[in-house]
Chain A
Amino acid sequence: MIDALLEKLAQRDRRSLSRLLTLAGRGEDRAEIDARIESLPHGNGRVIAFTGSAGVGKSTLVGKLIQTARADGKTVAVLACDPQSPLTGGALLGDRFRMGPATDDGVFIRSLATPGGNEAIAPRLPTLLAILQAFGFDLIFLETVGAGQTDTAVSRLADVVVLLLQPESGDDLQWEKAGVLEVADVIVVHKADLPGAERTLGQLKGMLELSPDRGIAVLGVSSQSKEGMANLYQTLWQPNARRHKPGLSALARDEFEERLSRVRDGAEFRRLESEWVDGKLREGQARASVWRLLS
């Protein structure tokens, strides 16, 4: 079945694209897809990740950039991640609603529920991106759940990482915290039509001047007035020397996350968990059993 779908994917069949993303996203057929997709002609779609806190306007900005890209004749795919409830497993995926209704064949949007933040989907993302690239999109936008300071796992999958901030979102010391600023290639002060935007831009530029060799672009952008939009779009295409191949240990960590999530979903783990909760296991026994499941 995977073979037939991949064959149709290479012929740009949209239905096969959609099916393959579902199968790879569930993890079951990921290994098989991974093994075979490398033999397909691989597009060179440019992957742009968007990160930033909830409410900063990631989906809205992506929606506007889709319009800009289409006007430029580029096809666009979007993977829009939203969090999944750790309690019920449910999710409300509302990003595409803000990206505007699309019946345009040059735009494909898939919403993705992500258990436990971005870390947990990191192992599946390379496969999802490879599928979209094999279909031949020019641009692939990856919208993260917006975990902000811990949102670094997705960054090495992207050619460019765009961090969104908004006016009045913290004093200048906030920018010194480790995490996001270290992985961002482009910092957008979104909602730049709001008061305070100039001050936030000034603080960021001032701080980045302390380490000019990092070459991070800082732009004010407004999705309302479209101010700065064309400039941001141009920036996305600039060669990015800061991206390099991940270390093998990073791949190992991804694979471990995947293994862990499978063990956690398994019946054996749940049986152990209820014994643990009921006090039938000592900590040493519990640790040994979990180790056995993981190895």
Chain B
Amino acid sequence: MSAPQRIVLAKVGLDGHDRGIKVVARALRDAGMHVIYAGLWLTPEAVVRVVADEDADWLGLSLLSGAHNTLVPRVLELLRGAGMGHVRILLGGIIPEADVHKLHAMGVARVFGPGTSMDDIVAFLRQPGEAVHD
């Protein structure tokens, strides 16, 4: 039996809308994953610290503040700096279509917008990822 996937869910920056991320947390738990809920109002440094200490496979960030173009690149940079470049990143929340391509190019695995079904997120996480190790 393979070990359950570990995913850290967090909100970065000044954004208090945490209903969405809690719904996702529950859906992933019910899909048999180990979800580490790191909470809201976190700095990029604090998020990366959680991912490193928890040795997570995935990081899911929820952003509804419009600050994704500032915060996400910072998180990615810090992750690589911490030797956690293999961790795959999901984004959720309000992210304009025009920014999605840029975020993918930076290394974000997938962006899920409003109206996404939980089944889609679960199915995406269950896809075998390319094995990357540091």
Q: Given A22-B55, A97-B39, A111-B54, are A15 and B83 also a contact pair (CB < 8 Å)? A: yes
Q: Is B46 an interface residue when CB atoms closer than 8 A count as contact? A: yes
Nearest CB in chain A to that of B41: its residue: A101
> B3 touching A97 by the CB < 8 A rule?
no
> B46 touching A102 by the CB < 8 A rule?
yes
Nearest CB in chain A to that of B83: its residue: A15
> B25 touching A92 by the CB < 8 A rule?
yes
Q: Give A100-112 as 1s and 0s: 1 = Cβ < 8 Å from B's Cβ atoms.
A: 0111000011110
Docked CA distance A108–B50 (Å): 9
> A101 touching B43 by the CB < 8 A rule?
yes
Looking at B32, B36, B37, B54, which has the most chain A CB atoms within 10 Å of its CB? B36
With beta carbons under 8 angstroms apart, the residue of A90, A93, A103 that contacts B30 is A90
Nearest CB in chain A to that of B44: its residue: A103
Docked CA distance A91–B30 (Å): 8
Q: Is A21 an interface residue when CB atoms closer than 8 A count as contact? A: yes
**Chain A residues with CB below 8 A from B37, complex form:** 92-94, 97
**Chain B residues with CB below 8 A from A19, complex form:** 55
Q: Which residues of A contact B (CB under 8 A)?
A: 14-15, 18-19, 21-22, 26, 84-85, 88-94, 96-97, 101-103, 108-111, 113, 265
Q: Is B102 an interface residue when CB atoms closer than 8 A count as contact? A: no
With beta carbons under 8 angstroms apart, the residue of A26, A92, A108, A265 that contacts B26 is A92
Q: Give B23-54 as 1s and 0s: 1 = Cβ < 8 Å from A's Cβ atoms.
A: 00110111111111111011101100110111
> B31 touching A90 by the CB < 8 A rule?
yes
Docked CA distance A132–B103 (Å): 37
Q: Given A15-B82, A103-B45, are A110 and B29 also a contact pair (CB < 8 Å)? A: no
Interchain residue pairs with CB less than 8 A apart (14): A90-B30, A90-B34, A91-B34, A92-B37, A93-B37, A96-B38, A101-B43, A102-B49, A103-B45, A109-B50, A111-B36, A111-B54, A113-B4, A113-B34
**Nearest-Cβ distance from residue A30 to partner chain B, whole angstroms:** 13
**Chain A residues with CB below 8 A from B55, complex form:** 18-19, 21-22, 110
> A90 touching B49 by the CB < 8 A rule?
no
> B46 touching A91 by the CB < 8 A rule?
no
Known: A91-B4, A94-B36. 19 other contacts (CB 8 A): A14-B52, A15-B82, A19-B55, A22-B55, A26-B3, A85-B29, A88-B30, A88-B31, A91-B33, A92-B25, A92-B35, A93-B34, A94-B37, A101-B38, A103-B49, A110-B53, A111-B34, A111-B54, A265-B1
Nearest CB in chain B to that of A91: its residue: B34
> B29 touching A88 by the CB < 8 A rule?
yes
**Chain A residues with CB below 8 A from B49, complex form:** 102-103
Q: Given A90-B28, A102-B46, are A97 and B38 also a contact pair (CB < 8 Å)? A: yes
> A18 touching B46 by the CB < 8 A rule?
no
Docked CA distance A239–B110 (Å): 53
Docked CA distance A84–B3 (Å): 13
Nearest CB in chain A to that of B37: its residue: A94
Docked CA distance A15–B83 (Å): 8
> B33 touching A90 by the CB < 8 A rule?
yes
Q: Given A90-B33, A103-B45, are A18 and B52 also a contact pair (CB < 8 Å)? A: yes
Q: Given A18-B55, A21-B55, A103-B46, are A89 and B35 also a contact pair (CB < 8 Å)? A: no
Q: Given A101-B42, A103-B46, are A18 and B32 also a contact pair (CB < 8 Å)? A: no
The 8 tightest CB contacts between A and B, nearest first, are: A90-B29, A97-B39, A101-B46, A88-B32, A18-B55, A89-B32, A22-B55, A90-B32
Q: Give B10-34 as 1s and 0s: 1 = Cβ < 8 Å from A's Cβ atoms.
A: 0000000000000001101111111
Docked CA distance A189–B3 (Å): 38
**Chain A residues with CB below 8 A from B31, complex form:** 88, 90
